[in-house]
Amino acid sequence: MPRKLQAIDSKRRTPQQVRAQATVELIFEATARILQRGGGAGLNTNAVAEHAGISIGTLYQYFPNKEAIMVAMTRRLLESDRLAVMKALSGALDGPRAEATRIAINRLINLNRTNQKVRRIITQTHIAQGFGDELAKPVQEITQMLAARTDRILPRRTEPISPVTLFVLTRAVVGVIRAAVHEESPFLGAAEFEDELVRLVDGFLAALDQ
Protein backbone atom coordinates (compact mmCIF):
# COMPACT_ATOMS: atom_id res chain seq x y z
CA MET A 1 0.00 0.00 0.00
CA PRO A 2 1.40 3.44 -0.91
CA ARG A 3 2.70 5.33 2.13
CA LYS A 4 0.42 8.32 1.56
CA LEU A 5 -2.67 6.15 1.82
CA GLN A 6 -1.65 4.02 4.79
CA ALA A 7 -3.16 6.43 7.31
CA ILE A 8 -6.55 6.87 5.66
CA ASP A 9 -8.45 4.38 7.80
CA SER A 10 -6.59 4.82 11.07
CA LYS A 11 -5.68 8.52 11.23
CA ARG A 12 -8.37 10.29 9.22
CA ARG A 13 -11.76 11.13 10.63
CA THR A 14 -14.46 8.55 9.88
CA PRO A 15 -17.67 10.16 8.58
CA GLN A 16 -20.02 8.98 11.30
CA GLN A 17 -22.17 12.00 11.87
CA VAL A 18 -24.68 13.37 9.42
CA ARG A 19 -22.68 16.55 8.86
CA ALA A 20 -19.50 14.62 8.22
CA GLN A 21 -21.28 12.30 5.78
CA ALA A 22 -22.71 15.31 3.97
CA THR A 23 -19.22 16.80 3.68
CA VAL A 24 -17.83 13.60 2.19
CA GLU A 25 -20.71 13.59 -0.29
CA LEU A 26 -19.86 17.15 -1.30
CA ILE A 27 -16.24 16.10 -1.85
CA PHE A 28 -17.25 13.10 -3.95
CA GLU A 29 -19.71 15.13 -6.02
CA ALA A 30 -17.17 17.89 -6.63
CA THR A 31 -14.52 15.36 -7.64
CA ALA A 32 -16.92 13.68 -10.06
CA ARG A 33 -17.83 17.02 -11.67
CA ILE A 34 -14.18 17.93 -12.17
CA LEU A 35 -13.34 14.53 -13.64
CA GLN A 36 -16.36 14.61 -15.92
CA ARG A 37 -15.44 18.02 -17.29
CA GLY A 38 -11.67 17.93 -17.49
CA GLY A 39 -10.49 14.43 -16.71
CA GLY A 40 -7.78 13.55 -14.22
CA ALA A 41 -5.44 16.31 -15.34
CA GLY A 42 -7.68 19.00 -13.88
CA LEU A 43 -8.10 17.32 -10.50
CA ASN A 44 -6.37 18.57 -7.36
CA THR A 45 -7.45 19.03 -3.77
CA ASN A 46 -7.73 22.82 -4.05
CA ALA A 47 -10.11 22.49 -6.99
CA VAL A 48 -12.16 19.88 -5.15
CA ALA A 49 -12.47 22.06 -2.05
CA GLU A 50 -13.48 25.06 -4.16
CA HIS A 51 -16.12 23.12 -6.09
CA ALA A 52 -17.40 21.52 -2.88
CA GLY A 53 -17.69 24.89 -1.15
CA ILE A 54 -15.46 23.91 1.75
CA SER A 55 -12.02 24.96 2.97
CA ILE A 56 -8.95 22.98 2.02
CA GLY A 57 -8.39 22.35 5.74
CA THR A 58 -11.81 20.72 6.01
CA LEU A 59 -11.07 18.50 3.03
CA TYR A 60 -7.80 17.36 4.61
CA GLN A 61 -9.69 16.26 7.72
CA TYR A 62 -11.13 13.50 5.56
CA PHE A 63 -8.65 12.84 2.75
CA PRO A 64 -4.89 13.44 2.55
CA ASN A 65 -4.79 13.79 -1.25
CA LYS A 66 -6.80 13.41 -4.44
CA GLU A 67 -5.84 9.76 -4.81
CA ALA A 68 -7.40 8.95 -1.45
CA ILE A 69 -10.64 10.60 -2.57
CA MET A 70 -10.79 8.47 -5.69
CA VAL A 71 -9.96 5.30 -3.77
CA ALA A 72 -12.88 6.00 -1.42
CA MET A 73 -15.14 6.77 -4.37
CA THR A 74 -14.20 3.49 -6.04
CA ARG A 75 -14.87 1.50 -2.88
CA ARG A 76 -18.30 3.04 -2.56
CA LEU A 77 -18.96 2.39 -6.24
CA LEU A 78 -17.95 -1.28 -5.94
CA GLU A 79 -20.27 -1.77 -2.99
CA SER A 80 -23.15 -0.08 -4.79
CA ASP A 81 -22.55 -2.24 -7.88
CA ARG A 82 -22.39 -5.38 -5.76
CA LEU A 83 -25.69 -4.68 -4.06
CA ALA A 84 -27.43 -3.77 -7.32
CA VAL A 85 -26.25 -6.88 -9.19
CA MET A 86 -26.92 -9.22 -6.25
CA LYS A 87 -30.44 -7.86 -5.98
CA ALA A 88 -31.10 -8.17 -9.71
CA LEU A 89 -29.57 -11.64 -9.86
CA SER A 90 -31.43 -12.87 -6.79
CA GLY A 91 -34.77 -11.98 -8.36
CA ALA A 92 -33.75 -13.23 -11.80
CA LEU A 93 -32.77 -16.69 -10.53
CA ASP A 94 -36.38 -17.31 -9.58
CA GLY A 95 -37.35 -17.10 -13.26
CA PRO A 96 -36.21 -18.84 -16.47
CA ARG A 97 -32.45 -19.16 -16.91
CA ALA A 98 -32.41 -17.18 -20.15
CA GLU A 99 -34.13 -14.25 -18.46
CA ALA A 100 -31.77 -14.45 -15.48
CA THR A 101 -28.75 -14.22 -17.77
CA ARG A 102 -30.06 -11.19 -19.63
CA ILE A 103 -31.23 -9.40 -16.48
CA ALA A 104 -27.84 -9.81 -14.78
CA ILE A 105 -25.85 -8.76 -17.86
CA ASN A 106 -28.15 -5.82 -18.60
CA ARG A 107 -27.72 -4.62 -15.03
CA LEU A 108 -23.94 -4.87 -15.22
CA ILE A 109 -23.82 -3.00 -18.51
CA ASN A 110 -26.11 -0.20 -17.33
CA LEU A 111 -24.13 0.25 -14.12
CA ASN A 112 -20.91 0.60 -16.10
CA ARG A 113 -22.50 3.04 -18.55
CA THR A 114 -23.41 5.41 -15.71
CA ASN A 115 -20.81 8.18 -15.28
CA GLN A 116 -18.53 6.18 -17.55
CA LYS A 117 -15.70 8.69 -17.69
CA VAL A 118 -15.60 9.16 -13.92
CA ARG A 119 -15.80 5.41 -13.34
CA ARG A 120 -12.89 4.80 -15.69
CA ILE A 121 -10.62 7.37 -14.06
CA ILE A 122 -11.29 6.44 -10.44
CA THR A 123 -10.93 2.69 -11.03
CA GLN A 124 -7.66 3.25 -12.90
CA THR A 125 -6.44 5.26 -9.92
CA HIS A 126 -7.63 2.51 -7.57
CA ILE A 127 -5.51 -0.01 -9.45
CA ALA A 128 -2.52 2.35 -9.61
CA GLN A 129 -2.66 2.84 -5.83
CA GLY A 130 -2.31 -0.91 -5.28
CA PHE A 131 -5.93 -1.84 -4.62
CA GLY A 132 -6.69 -3.67 -7.86
CA ASP A 133 -7.55 -6.87 -6.00
CA GLU A 134 -10.57 -5.13 -4.48
CA LEU A 135 -12.20 -4.91 -7.90
CA ALA A 136 -12.70 -8.68 -7.85
CA LYS A 137 -14.51 -8.86 -4.50
CA PRO A 138 -18.02 -8.03 -5.79
CA VAL A 139 -17.55 -10.61 -8.55
CA GLN A 140 -16.50 -13.20 -5.98
CA GLU A 141 -19.73 -12.72 -4.05
CA ILE A 142 -21.79 -13.00 -7.23
CA THR A 143 -19.90 -16.21 -8.02
CA GLN A 144 -20.73 -17.60 -4.59
CA MET A 145 -24.42 -16.85 -5.13
CA LEU A 146 -24.35 -18.61 -8.49
CA ALA A 147 -22.58 -21.62 -6.97
CA ALA A 148 -25.30 -21.89 -4.33
CA ARG A 149 -28.01 -21.84 -7.00
CA THR A 150 -26.70 -24.50 -9.35
CA ASP A 151 -30.14 -26.12 -9.31
CA ARG A 152 -31.64 -23.05 -10.98
CA ILE A 153 -28.81 -22.42 -13.43
CA LEU A 154 -28.23 -26.02 -14.51
CA PRO A 155 -31.31 -28.07 -13.52
CA ARG A 156 -30.00 -31.32 -15.05
CA ARG A 157 -26.63 -31.12 -13.34
CA THR A 158 -26.30 -33.14 -10.13
CA GLU A 159 -22.92 -31.86 -8.95
CA PRO A 160 -22.11 -28.22 -8.06
CA ILE A 161 -20.46 -25.96 -10.59
CA SER A 162 -16.74 -25.96 -9.87
CA PRO A 163 -15.07 -22.78 -8.54
CA VAL A 164 -12.76 -22.77 -11.57
CA THR A 165 -15.71 -22.86 -13.97
CA LEU A 166 -17.46 -20.01 -12.18
CA PHE A 167 -14.24 -18.02 -12.05
CA VAL A 168 -13.73 -18.29 -15.81
CA LEU A 169 -17.36 -17.48 -16.62
CA THR A 170 -17.78 -14.46 -14.35
CA ARG A 171 -14.39 -12.96 -15.20
CA ALA A 172 -15.09 -13.39 -18.89
CA VAL A 173 -18.27 -11.32 -18.63
CA VAL A 174 -16.95 -8.69 -16.23
CA GLY A 175 -13.65 -8.46 -18.09
CA VAL A 176 -15.38 -7.71 -21.41
CA ILE A 177 -17.57 -5.03 -19.83
CA ARG A 178 -14.66 -3.38 -18.03
CA ALA A 179 -12.59 -3.46 -21.21
CA ALA A 180 -15.40 -1.65 -23.01
CA VAL A 181 -15.44 1.00 -20.27
CA HIS A 182 -11.68 1.54 -20.17
CA GLU A 183 -11.34 1.54 -23.95
CA GLU A 184 -14.29 3.95 -24.22
CA SER A 185 -15.85 1.55 -26.68
CA PRO A 186 -19.10 2.58 -28.39
CA PHE A 187 -20.16 -1.07 -28.18
CA LEU A 188 -21.08 -0.71 -24.50
CA GLY A 189 -24.43 0.88 -25.34
CA ALA A 190 -25.25 -1.36 -28.29
CA ALA A 191 -27.96 -4.01 -28.14
CA GLU A 192 -25.65 -6.37 -30.01
CA PHE A 193 -23.06 -6.07 -27.24
CA GLU A 194 -25.58 -7.29 -24.66
CA ASP A 195 -26.81 -10.03 -27.00
CA GLU A 196 -23.28 -11.34 -27.53
CA LEU A 197 -22.60 -11.51 -23.80
CA VAL A 198 -25.88 -13.34 -23.23
CA ARG A 199 -24.93 -15.75 -26.01
CA LEU A 200 -21.52 -16.27 -24.41
CA VAL A 201 -23.03 -17.16 -21.03
CA ASP A 202 -25.87 -19.29 -22.38
CA GLY A 203 -23.51 -21.22 -24.62
CA PHE A 204 -21.10 -21.80 -21.75
CA LEU A 205 -23.89 -23.02 -19.45
CA ALA A 206 -25.50 -25.16 -22.15
CA ALA A 207 -22.21 -27.05 -22.56
CA LEU A 208 -22.13 -27.72 -18.82
CA ASP A 209 -25.75 -28.88 -18.76
CA GLN A 210 -25.30 -31.65 -21.31
What would the pLDDT profile of 52-70 be if each residue is shown by its tens digit? 999 999 999 999 999 999 9
Cβ contacts of 44-51, under 8 Å, gap ≥ 24: 45/69
Residue 165 to residue 83: CA distance in whole angstroms: 23
* Of the ranges 40-44, 58-62, 97-101, the best mean pLDDT one: 58-62
CA angle 135, 141, 145 (to 5 degrees): 150
What integer is the mean pLDDT of 179-196? 92
Residue 152 to residue 148: CA distance in whole angstroms: 9
Query: Which pLDDT score, from 0 to 100, does residue 10 have?
Result: 43
Sign of the dihedral through C-alpha 151, 157, 158, 160:
negative
Q: What is the pTM of this model?
A: 0.78
Query: Which pLDDT score, from 0 to 100, does residue 121 have?
Result: 95
CB atoms within 10 A of CB 32: 21
